[in-house]
A and B are shown apart, each in its own frame.
Chain A
Amino acid sequence: MEKDTIVQARRLRKVYRGANEVEALRGIDLAVERGEMVAIVGPSGSGKTTLLNCLSGLDAFDGGQVVVDGQDLSTMSDRARTAYRSKNMGFVFQAFNLLPVLSAVENVEIPLLLQNLNSRDSRRRSLEMLETLGLAHRANHRPDQLSGGEQQRVAVARALVHKPAVVWADEPTGNLDTEVTQVIVELLVRMNKDGQTIVLVTHNPQVAERAARTLHMRDGRIERTDQGDRSAAEAAQ
């Protein structure tokens, strides 16, 4: 089968400059296939989050190239990269990062509104997404009225609602207990089975096991790659 690479990084370098210069990424080469679920694991300070930020265009890098769905992020202006993110990327964070003053459905609507979809359609699609995730009855609740698991499910809904090319998840279960972690992981796997490309950073081996591929990082390099329980091809089926 021909490979359909959606994320491609070549000799990616990132240096944090300050009192002590730290080379966080030391020439990373990486490719993610469309529909693949990739987990990045490694000890603290190994560069996992930095890699995710550079791949997703959240952070600038000092060397190398990142191409996402055919677009070279290194040549894009901040404005173009931002616009690209709004259309093609979704994010899930460890701390949920819902806007505290907006209700669940209003949080989910943001990516759609940013694409200039009108209010009515945005609301309809957001409610559908929340229903898919079993949160329709919590649509009008604000984050401080939701449990941690519910908040993270809303965050997942927000990441998926505009059908992005890639969903980036940074420790999506880091703040959740085992039971809720399981729910969120199953949710991500289900979305991945529906064809959604997902790149996630995790410390949790049980989460990483559910990915098609696991990249082990140490000292800014990918130390080794493990094939997980599910291959991309399986996921795509």
Chain B
Amino acid sequence: MTFLAVLLGVFLFAYLGIALVVARRPLIGRIAFREASRRPGQTAVLVLGLMIAGAAIFSVQVVFDSMYETSRAQVLRNWGRDDIEVSAGGAYFDGAVAQRITTDPAVCACIAGIQNAIITSGSVVDVTREAGRPNVQISGLDLAAERRFGAFVLADGRSTFGDELNSGDVFVTQPLADALGAQRGDRLRVASRGASSIDLTIAGIVRREGAGAYGFDLSMFASLKTLQQVEGKDGVNLIRVSARGDGDAEAAGARGLADEIRGFLAANHLSLQVLEVKRGALDIVDKASASGRSFVTSFGVIIALAATALVANLAIMLSEERRPRLAVLRALGLTRTGLVQLAITEGAIYSLLGAIAGIPVGFAVIYMLFHSAPQSPGGSIMFAVHPESLLGAVAAAALLNLVTVLLASLRTTRMAISSAIRDLPEPPETRRPSLKRSVFLAGLGLAGAAAMLSGRLEYGLLGGALIIGAAAGFLRGRISDHWRYSAAGAAALVWAVADFQFIAAKVGTSLPFTFAVLVSVPALSILVAANLPLLDTAVGVAGRASGRLRATLRPALAYASRRPLRSGLVIAGIAVVMAVLTLIQSLLAVPRDYRVFSGGWDVQAILSGSDQLAVPDSLQSEVAEQSELPSRTFLGPVNWVYTDFRGTSGWHQEPVTVFGLSPQQLESGMGFGNPADWAAIARDPNLVASTASVGSVVHLATDHGTVSFRTVATIPPTNMTTSLSSVVPGLIASRQALAELANSAPGAMLLLKAAPGTSADALARDLQRATFSLGVDVSTTKSLVDQDDAAGGGAAGFITWLLRIGLTVGVLSLGAVALRAVIERRRPIGVLRAMGYQRVQVLAGMLTETAVLATAGMAVGLAVAYALGPTFIANFVNRSRFSPDLGSLGLTIVVVYAAVLVVTVLPALQAARLRPAEALRVTG
């Protein structure tokens, strides 16, 4: 059963339950409906507050629906009608196999097209333009079979099946042409794994669509015969197969066809691999989308949780305003359960309206974000919404709001009827220990203990927090609320920070971080809220100089400081978003410790087609240290088994480059990992260093069986989005490991340290100039890291935007506090005005109250970010230090204060304008 099905089931169950209550007790339904429709303005405010959760959840889903559809469309475009590929792990085999497959009666009926091909990679040099590029995919295709696989679309818009490609002619993709500055007619020198390089001519530049979308962005296409000349081989290394049908029928047909081809190969003793390439690629998209969705959804949930603080405040505001009326209902015979049912029924109306209203808002926010936000996830993203996202967002938001309303109503329906009818303060609580409450607290404690003993380290944090919460509950009435809140807050905070510090490195997922934020923020918020009375003391000191100042500030500060739960909710709402925003900004702002990512190397040079790459003698004086790493790039069936949240990728086609280090290089290390790791890699050719988590294994289906590499040392990824390193674009293994990939495309990488007095830029420039004729690509490691930073900035920028929306929610909750104050405190404001409070004092008091809460919220958020940040940065992002961008944070704080002023000033003015007699006349 999927999560969505469960969610929708719970949603339907909840609303059917409410409908049943209304059917059985029509009075409750009637009152709830009348209350909801009696004051449309107030209902609008409530719906506005309740729609935030829906908008937050829905907007995240829209982002991922769009990214998912974009990725799928890209896969479908890249693979076109190519469903199945038959290969020998890069090795060559007889091209007649394709012919035999098509004539096999068991197979041929399902085949719409079959094409012999040679797929390799190499370096390409545009001799005319004097520019070169490594890692270019070179595809030699049997053009006679091209029709089923689609036409090439030339830059001028004409379509062709490549009939005009003569021997020695190639099409190059537009990105490759752009990279080389190449034009039609240019001479290209191509070096792949063939013995020597060969010159080819550009016959056309093709767009990345149709047949030209196949393979890498940097690609070239030629006839099979031309590639056989380049490679010096007679055979082929790949057969592309297209199944009959279109769309889903083609996908379903491919599955059966792959099995039939496997059967044919087995029956004929042909040791070739059959890979459903398109489905494998789509599976990767599905898995990446699922893990990415859950990661960014967690930020959406943080906003939704901030919104629940707002909803709770709104629910409390509503019930306090109606307290005398509700008390009359109680006096007339409605039970407390009945009052809860009434609150839930009315809340259900608001929740559903709010959740539905959140859909267009979330849609609009994301639409604007895609089109206007700086560093948006990309202008080329397809805007897509899945119906299940819409249903899920409505159900999740409505349920979240409903649960909040339920919890709030459990609290607000506790009343002394006689006092409440006359709108008098509640009499002192007897605080008798109730059995129900004790059982609940005991259950909470046991759940916490179970979580701690479950063996799952990440759940221990939550378990400890539950135990602390239960203990605090048991202490109610035994110690003062001030000390109870303070002790519980401090204990939970210390526990969360210490536990996170301890387990973060041991758990490879971001779950402990999420739990740590969700525990430490409320804990510190309660601690701060319980101790806000210290501000009274400070004002008391000021009061020695000015009694009027004290008179102005005291009621406002008392409202903020002596209701720790309510203030804590507001503080936590702002703080949770502020904390995560600070952490995200620290990711964007940390000045890169280039040494961590580059291993201390200044310049990287990459070559394909040959594993011989050395610094020319003329440049030796500019180099202090150099390391040459020969490589093999495997292009074939690959299956990753990660030890982190990514799980298993499934078999798919992917280029995997393995760099082979000599024993001397392994002994001296590479600037990454530690000597023990390198010693292990030296001993075992199947151990590697990579950007994957330690323990992850990659399986390569080569022509002589499956070769597996296990990661024992981690190279820090430079690209946050792909989790890959541009400085080391592959696995680092021992030189023996390369022997297992003998039939894969050769290549080489040079890592250099510039000599004293020589800049990295100058060395890179000189080396590029000296080696362009080989198709070598030379970069400074700094530029590679910076480029990846910029690429990752899009995703981080999106999350930042999302969190800023969350901060707006926090600010709105302050607006709700102010609005609530006007309604709830009409009478106290009337009393104060009667006693001589000037309007400006009322105004100043309310602004001070919200400013204090906003300040506390931001301070708590910053404190949590600084407490968790270093561990978070060190363990999850592989950065060396936590250093938020203070300028950006300062700007955020200024904007928050300005927004607080904007949302508070109107209710505050409204309060200030209250005429005392009118305010005192109100009886609720």
A102-159 interface with B by 8 A CB criterion: 102, 106, 110-120, 122, 142-145, 147-148, 151, 158
Whether B550 and A119, one on each chain, are in contact in the complex, defined by CB atoms closer than 8 angstroms, is: yes
- Give the CA-CA distance A117 to B832 in the complex, in Å: 17
Question: B496-504, B676-684, B887-895, B915-923: which one contacts chain A?
Answer: B915-923
Whether A85 and B834, one on each chain, are in contact in the complex, defined by CB atoms closer than 8 angstroms, is: yes
Whether B831 and A144, one on each chain, are in contact in the complex, defined by CB atoms closer than 8 angstroms, is: no
Distance in angstroms from B352 CB to nearest chain A CB is 34
Interface: B476 (CB within 8 A): no
Distance in angstroms from A167 CB to nearest chain B CB is 12
CB-based A-B contact count at 8 angstroms? 121
Interface: A86 (CB within 8 A): yes
Whether A100 and B548, one on each chain, are in contact in the complex, defined by CB atoms closer than 8 angstroms, is: no
Interface: A227 (CB within 8 A): no
Interface: A44 (CB within 8 A): no
- Give the CA-CA distance A120 to B921 in the complex, in Å: 34
Whether B551 and A110, one on each chain, are in contact in the complex, defined by CB atoms closer than 8 angstroms, is: yes
Whether A93 and B920, one on each chain, are in contact in the complex, defined by CB atoms closer than 8 angstroms, is: yes
Interface: B422 (CB within 8 A): yes
- Give the CA-CA distance A86 to B838 in the complex, in Å: 9
Interface: A95 (CB within 8 A): yes
Interface: A17 (CB within 8 A): no
Whether A114 and B920, one on each chain, are in contact in the complex, defined by CB atoms closer than 8 angstroms, is: no
Whether A110 and B835, one on each chain, are in contact in the complex, defined by CB atoms closer than 8 angstroms, is: yes
- Give the CA-CA distance A117 to B551 in the complex, in Å: 10
Whether A97 and B563, one on each chain, are in contact in the complex, defined by CB atoms closer than 8 angstroms, is: no
- Give the CA-CA distance A145 to B480 in the complex, in Å: 14
- Give the CA-CA distance A120 to B540 in the complex, in Å: 9
Interface: A46 (CB within 8 A): no
Which listed residue, B554, B559, B838, B916, touches A106 by the CB 8 Å rule? Answer: B554
B894-924 interface with A by 8 A CB criterion: 915-918, 920-921
Which listed residue, A82, A98, A113, A148, touches B550 by the CB 8 Å rule? Answer: A113
Interface: B828 (CB within 8 A): yes
A76-98 interface with B by 8 A CB criterion: 78-79, 82-83, 85-87, 89-91, 93, 95-98
Whether B837 and A114, one on each chain, are in contact in the complex, defined by CB atoms closer than 8 angstroms, is: yes
Q: For this complex, into which size category does the number of interface residues on chain B fall?
A: 35 or more
Which listed residue, B547, B830, B831, B915, touches A114 by the CB 8 Å rule? Answer: B547
Q: Which residues of B contact A144 (CB under 8 A)?
A: 425-428
Dominant SS among interface residues on chain B: helix
Distance in angstroms from A228 CB to nearest chain B CB is 26
Q: Which residues of A contact B837 (CB under 8 A)?
A: 82, 86, 114
B139-195 interface with A by 8 A CB criterion: none
Name the residue in A85, A87, A90 with the highest tally of chain B Cβ atoms < 10 Å from its Cβ. A85
Whether B558 and A78, one on each chain, are in contact in the complex, defined by CB atoms closer than 8 angstroms, is: no
Residue on A with the closest CB to B545?
A118
Interface: B323 (CB within 8 A): no
Interface: A58 (CB within 8 A): yes
Q: Which residues of A contact B921 (CB under 8 A)?
A: 49
Whether B540 and A119, one on each chain, are in contact in the complex, defined by CB atoms closer than 8 angstroms, is: yes
Whether B423 and A95, one on each chain, are in contact in the complex, defined by CB atoms closer than 8 angstroms, is: yes
Distance in angstroms from A108 CB to nearest chain B CB is 11
Whether B562 and A91, one on each chain, are in contact in the complex, defined by CB atoms closer than 8 angstroms, is: no
- Give the CA-CA distance A140 to B366 in the complex, in Å: 53
Q: Which residues of B contact A53 (CB under 8 A)?
A: 917, 920
Interface: B555 (CB within 8 A): yes
Distance in angstroms from A144 CB to nearest chain B CB is 5
Distance in angstroms from B839 CB to nearest chain A CB is 7
Known A-B contacts: A79-B838, A120-B544. Give 9 more (CB < 8 A): A82-B837, A91-B831, A97-B827, A97-B830, A99-B832, A101-B559, A101-B563, A119-B547, A144-B427
Binding site for A on B (CB under 8 A): 422-428, 540, 543-548, 550-551, 554-555, 558-559, 562-563, 827-828, 830-839, 915-918, 920-921
Binding site for B on A (CB under 8 A): 49, 53, 56, 58-60, 78-79, 82-83, 85-87, 89-91, 93, 95-102, 106, 110-120, 122, 142-145, 147-148, 151, 158, 175
